[in-house]
Amino acid sequence: MKKSLILVFAIVFISWTKCSPLPEPKEPRSIRVMSFNVENMFDGIEQGSEYPKYNPKNGSWTEKDYMGKMLQISRVAADAAPDGPDIIGFQEIENKGILTELTKGYLKDYGYKYIVISENPNSAIQSAFISKYPYNYVKLHAPQADSGRDLRQIVEVSFDIHGHELIILNNHWKSKVGKNTEPKRLCAADVVTARLKAIYSENPKAEVLLLGDFNECADEYEREGKGVVRAIMPAEVNLPSRFQYLRITGDDQNKNPKYLFSPWLWDKNQEPGSYVYRGRWETIDNFFLGSNLTDKKGFYFAGFQTVKTQWNTSKKEHPRPYDKASGEGCSDHFPILLELNLEK
């Protein structure tokens, strides 16, 4: 790592949720988890699978560009929470080497000792975790589209936090680019729902968290027209489908294991979204909490916000993509941050 690129952090500049700011952790049994779509984070080495815009071979993406963007990602991560989030779930990372360089370089003083990444050969980008806590196991789930082609893998990790298990599934579902994309997101939702049933069957008290870029808003059903099955549906709606879909609620005291709590739908949430498409805020980056995370036992929900810093926020208060000419900006998504308390 070049000395000239050693990170010197400026004064933290965070825009917190006005209605319910995340409290400072007073003891180590409070953890923060971040989900961060870093928008096509490629290194400066030609692998043959890069998107044309990020191919070092044709000069469109260089080592300097890579290091500049990594600097910005590290700044946002470091400023997201005191001492950085405990666990970060990334989407759109090219390979493990990037995370190794990130954790041993720019974020070397933040204690990220563990790295997990998907292994999807059909995708130029992967989903991954970096963590301060060890893990018990890793499982990769590959939803399969009707065409037979595997979709992006869902990364399931069981983390060991103070001797307490927290299972997290990192998702990056099919985007809406192209025709008839909903069935592909429904395929992913079907796999996730089946996996949740299996986890709860084995351990009804399991504490499970879904995070990632679902490419579908928490209120997708209302936004896009009622009566059509979506991969993410309101808990109270039950439509016939050959796929299982996620059923979500804004009730932060939900006790129904069939439902997932979404902080975006929480009545105390005032964040407009994490992504802007054609001038409209969207909530495609999500946390979905199983019912055992809203019961005030073990881990339980304590707060939620988007992460807005001077490094990743435009003058319009929108996410600011990385600009390689100026070295400013970071991603077209705001990261989202979740706080969980752990009952002693």
Parse the chain into domains and list their residue ranges.
30-342
DSSP string, 52-78: GGG-GGGTSS-HHHHHHHHHHHHHHHH
Given a contact cutoff of 8 angstroms between Cβ atoms, the answer to whether 90 and 38 are in contact is yes
- Other CB atoms within 10 Å distance of the CB of residue 340: 24
Give the torsion sign (CA, 278, 281, 285, 286): negative
Within the chain, which residues score under 70 in pLDDT?
A: 1-28, 148
Residues in CB range of 329: below 8 A, 6 or more apart: 72, 311, 312, 314, 320, 321, 322, 323
Main-chain dihedrals φ then ψ at residue 260, nearest 5 degrees: -120, 140
DSSP string, 80-134: HSTT--SEEEEEEE--HHHHHHHHHTTTGGGT--EEEE---TT-SSEEEEEESS-
How high is the pLDDT of residue 148?
67
Alpha-carbon distance of 334 to 319, in angstroms, equals 6
pLDDT tens digits, residue range 255-283? 999 999 999 999 899 999 999 999 999 99
Q: Report if pTM > 0.85.
A: yes
- One of 3.40.50.620, 3.90.1420.10, 3.90.190.20, 3.60.10.10 is the CATH number of 30-342, namely 3.60.10.10
How high is the pLDDT of residue 22?
52
Main-chain dihedrals φ then ψ at residue 204, nearest 5 degrees: -60, -20
How high is the pLDDT of residue 15?
38
pLDDT tens digits, residue range 14-45? 333 334 445 443 445 899 999 999 999 999 99
